Amino acid sequence: MIPLIRPYITGDAKRRVNEVLDSGFLTEGPVTRELETVVARYLGVAHCLAVTSCTTGLEMALRCLGVSDGDEVIVPDYTYPATASAVALVGATPVIVDVDPQTMVIDYDALEAAVTPATKAVIPVSLFGNPVDYDRLSTIKKKHGLFVIEDAACALGAEFKGRMVGACADISVFSCHPRKFVTTGEGGLVTTGNAEWAEWMLSFKHFGMGVHESRQCTSFDRIGTNLKLSNILAAVGLSQMDMVEELLDRRRQLAALYQEALKSLPGISLPTVTEGGLHSYQSFCVFVDERDRVMASMREKGVEVQIGTYSLHMHKAFNANDKVRLHGAMQGSRRAFEQCLTLPLFHEMTREELDTVVRLLAEEVG
């Protein structure tokens, strides 16, 4: 089987984890803070907080900005359900809009058409590592007075006009799930340039503790919860961040090989990268007709391919929920869901494996 992805875990990661185990300090502590510092420096952002997942990070960001009952938050239809679920979990209304059929990121015209006086924020998704257009978002944000919380789950290392994803939105949230090329096993990273928000979130993720320079608890200033990322998981992430450029370069090399091999094949089309964007290629996707048939056949032949993600309006949690508002026909999203196919892409993938994927895909669609 040629896998969809295989985490690249080196001996250094094992060494770092063993050091944590030997230290006896297993919960969040100095190793986690080092990871936060390294990621913030890499992204060029003032503040980074490690949390239990991208989903809990999105929920924390919404709570930090005061999003709650009576508010609306606009999200794209073509995304993992967590994007919209986080909105519902804080008591707000997810307003689901269509995506651009070529980039698969949020349709900015559909976004703006869905704004109402109750709209407090938008959560665009830099899908598969393709960054959103922050210029368009900035214009809409200023015009309507919205917060932008970016679901950057798959977009570590992506850029827009020379700025790193994670340093462009009000708050950005990354995933460190094993399908991500920088992983901690489970976990997430939340970034912001706003010191007041960073302090609130730091307190919230530590049970509402007062934030002091020593990080010692002397008071509880708010109701909070436990979203801490352990030193054990952070140690894995630190080893990954040590080679983040190597990991990114390899993914982009493999993506370029795929693009060259697939660009002229009949029956296959490639998604468009956001103008001004630099894709991180967390996932490499193509559009094909009869996606489910192609996917099943390739799996039978030993290639682990997968759908892109989900079209939320097709699922009961969102289409039969009076606390969710669907806005528009979702034609772009449905096209993405029905035709998007994710191909294997991992650090140690060989040219022979890539050629095999291309050959079998060509046979299926030819």
Q: Is 142 a catalytic residue?
A: no
179 pLDDT band (50/70/90 cuts)?
very high
3-state secondary structure of 148: strand
- Asked if residue 212 has pLDDT above 90, the reply is no
216 pLDDT band (50/70/90 cuts)?
low
Closest CA to 295 of 339, 261, 345: 339
Q: Which pLDDT score, from 0 to 100, does residue 22 have?
A: 97
Q: How far apart are CA 194 and CA 171, in angstroms?
A: 8
Identify whether the C-beta of residue 103 lies closer than 8 Å to the C-beta of residue 133. Answer: no
Q: How far apart are CA 204 and CA 224, in angstroms?
A: 4
3-state secondary structure of 2: strand
Catalytic residue among 120, 142, 161, 180: 180
CA–chain centroid gap for 14, Å, is: 26
366 pLDDT band (50/70/90 cuts)?
confident
Q: Where are the domains of the chain?
A: 1-366
Q: Which pLDDT score, from 0 to 100, does residue 360 have?
A: 98
Q: How far apart are CA 35 and CA 40, in angstroms?
A: 9
- Asked if residue 217 has pLDDT above 80, the reply is no
Share of the chain above pLDDT 90, in %: 96
The pTM score is 0.96
- Asked if residue 186 has pLDDT above 70, the reply is yes
283 pLDDT band (50/70/90 cuts)?
very high
pLDDT in tens, 53-66: 999 999 999 999 99
pLDDT in tens, 2-15: 999 999 999 999 99
3-state secondary structure of 248: helix
Q: How far apart are CA 97 and CA 244, in angstroms?
A: 33
Averaged confidence pLDDT in the chain: 96
Q: Between 3.30.70.2190, 3.40.50.720, 3.40.640.10, 3.40.30.10, what CATH number should domain 1-366 receive?
A: 3.40.640.10
